[in-house]
């Protein structure tokens, strides 16, 4: 970020507020950098950047503030820290990183910042694989995206399979095939695994798919149309029919998507609508001349924040860990637009343009995104109002001091004690907070299979031990923040177990409620258990009861889903994976030689040693593993 060494200043004098800031200004350089304002116990209140630290920070000491909110922030300030940088661009990039890491309470903050799915054409195999990908680009290949949702990327993958017949199977499945799979039968794969297409011809299909994903769809369809006509002239009607089906699959992309630009190849479109201290930013992704989906974001803002400042802060945080397109279109020109362009160009290694279009197709796309932003914020505000009433009802039903901001619900899932997992879901004023859901693989070997009490003990002990550790270290991990209410699936027995564990950890000030179904396990007859009180029931048609049922059902769904994923992974495990010395290459060679793990288990040491890459010592180890 910067060649200059960090310059960190900590206030030691018992000053506070504007007086403390005025004292800090005397030692500040006239250089670019980032400043942090901290309150009691080191809480980070605000992170900002400046072209000149001295000139920017002195404004806080002068006492002339645009809003009461800033004045309040200054009053809360107990210390400050500063880092100098070479340029203002470096300061902006560092500011963005620190805001996302520290989540200061007075900054505009992007929430729900999950990575986007992409499509990758993996080049590590002679027959390239087409697959969905999420996360860092660790696989050798060509990446295309982002797509707004798993649905968007799945739909595009289906189109590519129909149009270009590329394989999606894993390498191990590919190597073990002796006949084409079902995808070939339904005309979604050209079956390079069994030699039904030469690798050179398959490589041409891969190049066609890549051209399509890079925006050359019309050229690809034109070539395929010419090839279809030539096949028809040669009376190769079956081949011509296959090409016709592939062209139809590509044409369907334009028909299925309501917003496809004619003059825009690659751009991201951002539209902001802010009302009453809440904001929605609607993001549309356009790649290869196609709409690859949209997503609504609801950043944390204050009613005093200007739209330009919200948009600028949002863009900076949004692209902190995402690929940046050449063109970014916005409904509001972001604050410090030129500085953002310079920072994005520095990160992406190419020119990046940010613009607010005034006319034409680009303006229509922004207006369409703005309409979606208004509608999404309207729905969000209506839901928030209803959610506030429900949380107030929960507060009254359970005798809480204030409506809960964070409710955690726990459930376990297993089959006869196998693949046991615990699930934690989180809900609050904004509904289900899925980014903070957590799963717990049951690790203890002392728990009797099927012991729900034992599993609950392990889950709650691990969860709250982590919270205590983070609080002692001053770490703010939102996924393990202190809850206002804990709901568990079970009666007084489970409640007593949880209360005992939390008391051992010194967190006995968190309300715990058990939710148990009635004698006949009928929904609507739930009994609620609170320590020190007899169980009670809510009115059968109470909105609060329906809300609590939804929380319990969501926890059950999450736990079961996590269990199924774990069970499916166990079922897919290959015994060869557990043998020391058998890596991916030797595993592939053994499966190719004997057809399956069972075939390997039946082979003699002599036959195993004949496989390329398998020494006699390894052959004996493999043979011995299956004879245990």
Tokens of 185: 């039968």
The residues, ordered by sequence, that sit 6+ positions from 35 with a Cβ below 8 Å of its Cβ are 47, 48, 49, 50, 53, 56, 57, 80, 81, 82, 83
Same-domain check for residues 218 and 278: no
pLDDT of 449 over the 80 cut: no
pLDDT of 309 over the 70 cut: yes
Distances (CA, A) of 145 to 46, 215, 285: 33, 12, 8
Residue 237 backbone dihedrals phi, psi, to 5 degrees: -70, -30
- Enumerate helices (H) and strands (E) in the chain, giving the number of each: 20, 18
Same-domain check for residues 597 and 552: no
Same-domain check for residues 444 and 561: yes
Kindly state the DSSP code that residue 627 receives in the 8-state scheme.
Answer: T
Same-domain check for residues 463 and 487: yes
Same-domain check for residues 196 and 287: no
Specify the pLDDT at position 256: 45
Residue 596 sits in a domain whose CATH number is 1.10.150.20
**Helices 53-61 & 17-25, crossing angle to 10 degrees?**
150
State how beta strands 267-275 and 327-330 pair. Answer: parallel
Question: Three-class SS of residue 432?
Answer: strand
- Annotate 267-284 with b (16+ C-beta within 10 A) or e (fewer): bbbbbbbbeeebbbbbbb
Same-domain check for residues 128 and 51: no
* 5 lies in some domain: no
The residues, ordered by sequence, that sit 6+ positions from 247 with a Cβ below 8 Å of its Cβ are 163, 221, 224, 225, 228
Same-domain check for residues 195 and 341: no
Average pLDDT of the residues in 174-185: 87
* 444 lies in some domain: yes
Same-domain check for residues 326 and 364: yes
* 261 lies in some domain: no
Average pLDDT of the residues in 123-137: 87
* 3 lies in some domain: no
Query: For 87-106, what is each residue's pLDDT tens digit?
Result: 999 999 999 999 988 899 89
Total number of domains in the chain: 5
Query: For 392-443, what is each residue's pLDDT tens digit?
Result: 999 999 999 899 999 999 988 765 556 678 889 999 888 888 888 988 887 7
Same-domain check for residues 78 and 193: no
Query: For 367-406, what is each residue's pLDDT tens digit?
Result: 999 999 999 888 888 777 888 889 999 999 999 989 999 9
Same-domain check for residues 537 and 607: no
- Of the CA atoms within 13 Å of residue 478, those in its CB half-sphere come to 17
Same-domain check for residues 48 and 121: no
pLDDT of 457 over the 70 cut: yes
User: What are the percentages of helix, strand and coil residues in the chain, rounded to 5?
Assistant: 45, 20, 35
Average pLDDT of the residues in 588-601: 80
Same-domain check for residues 128 and 174: yes
User: Which residue range forms the structural domain that includes residue 69?
Assistant: 17-102
In this prediction, residue 255 has a pLDDT band, given cuts at 50, 70 and 90, of very low
Kindly state the DSSP code that residue 132 receives in the 8-state scheme.
Answer: E
pTM of the full structure? 0.64
Average pLDDT of the residues in 228-247: 78
Q: Which residues pair with 142 in a beta bridge?
A: 121
Tokens of 441: 């693989």
**Helices 237-256 & 150-164, crossing angle to 10 degrees?**
160
**Residue at which a domain ends, from 227, 256, 285:** 256
Specify the pLDDT at position 522: 58
């Amino acid at each position: 970020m910067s060649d200059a060494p960090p310059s960190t200043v900590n206030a030691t004098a018992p000053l506070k507020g504007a007086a403390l800031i005025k004292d800090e200004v005397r030692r500040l350089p006239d250089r670019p950098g980032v400043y942090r304002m901290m309150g009691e116990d080191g809480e980070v209140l605000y992170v900002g950047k400046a072209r000149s630290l001295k000139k920017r920070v002195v404004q806080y000491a002068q006492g002339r503030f645009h809003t009461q909110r800033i004045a309040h922030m200054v009053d809360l300030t107990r210390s400050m820290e500063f880092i100098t940088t070479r340029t203002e661009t470096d300061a902006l990039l560092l500011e963005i990183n620190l805001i996302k890491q520290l989540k200061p309470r007075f900054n505009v903050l992007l929430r729900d910042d999950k990575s986007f799915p992409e499509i990758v054409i993996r080049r590590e195999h002679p027959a390239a694989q087409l697959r969905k990908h999420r996360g860092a680009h660790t696989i050798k290949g060509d990446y295309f995206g982002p797509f707004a949702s798993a649905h968007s990327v799945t739909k595009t993958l289906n189109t590519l399979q129909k149009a270009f017949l590329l394989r999606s199977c894993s390498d191990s499945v590919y190597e073990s095939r002796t006949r084409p799979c079902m995808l070939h039968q339904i005309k979604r794969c050209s079956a390079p695994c069994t030699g039904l297409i030469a690798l050179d011809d398959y490589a041409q299909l891969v190049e066609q798919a890549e051209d399509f994903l890079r925006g050359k769809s019309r050229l690809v369809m034109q070539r395929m149309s010419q090839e279809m006509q030539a096949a028809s002239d040669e009376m190769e009607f079956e081949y011509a029919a296959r090409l016709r089906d592939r062209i139809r699959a590509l044409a369907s992309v334009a028909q299925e998507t309501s917003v496809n630009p004619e003059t825009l190849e690659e751009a991201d479109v951002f539209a902001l609508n802010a009302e009453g201290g809440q904001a929605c930013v609607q993001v549309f992704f356009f790649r290869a001349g196609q709409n690859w989906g949209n997503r609504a974001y609801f950043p944390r803002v204050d009613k005093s924040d200007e739209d330009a400042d919200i948009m600028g802060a949002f863009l900076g945080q949004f692209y902190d860990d995402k690929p940046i397109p050449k063109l970014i279109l916005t409904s509001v020109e972001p604050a410090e637009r030129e500085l953002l362009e310079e920072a994005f160009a520095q990160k992406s290694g190419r020119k990046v343009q940010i613009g607010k279009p005034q006319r034409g197709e680009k303006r229509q796309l922004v207006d369409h995104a703005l309409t979606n932003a208004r509608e999404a914020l309207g729905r969000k505000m209506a839901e928030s109002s209803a959610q506030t009433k429900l949380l107030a009802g929960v507060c009254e039903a359970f005798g809480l001091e204030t409506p809960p901001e964070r409710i955690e619900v726990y459930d376990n899932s297993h089959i006869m004690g196998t693949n046991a997992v615990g699930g934690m879901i989180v809900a609050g004023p904004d509904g289900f907070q899925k980014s903070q859901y957590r799963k717990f693989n049951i690790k203890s070997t002392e728990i009797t299979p099927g012991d729900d009490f034992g599993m609950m003990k392990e889950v709650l002990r691990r969860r709250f031990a982590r919270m205590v550790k983070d609080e002692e270290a001053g770490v703010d991990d939102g996924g393990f923040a202190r809850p206002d209410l804990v709901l568990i699936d079970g009666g007084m027995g489970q409640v007593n177990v949880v209360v005992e564990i939390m008391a051992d950890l010194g967190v006995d000030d968190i309300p715990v409620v058990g939710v148990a179904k009635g004698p006949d396990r009928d929904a609507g007859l739930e009994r609620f258990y609170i320590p020190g009180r007899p169980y009670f029931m809510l009115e059968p048609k109470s909105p609060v009861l329906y809300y609590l049922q939804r929380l319990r059902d969501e926890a059950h769904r999450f736990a079961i889903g996590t269990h199924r994923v774990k069970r499916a992974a166990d079922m897919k495990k290959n015994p060869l994976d557990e043998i020391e010395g058998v890596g991916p290459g030797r595993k592939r060679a053994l499966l190719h030689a004997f057809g399956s793990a069972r075939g390997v288990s039946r082979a003699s040491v002599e036959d195993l040693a004949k496989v390329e890459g398998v020494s006699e010592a390894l052959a004996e180890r493999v043979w011995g593993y299956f004879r245990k």
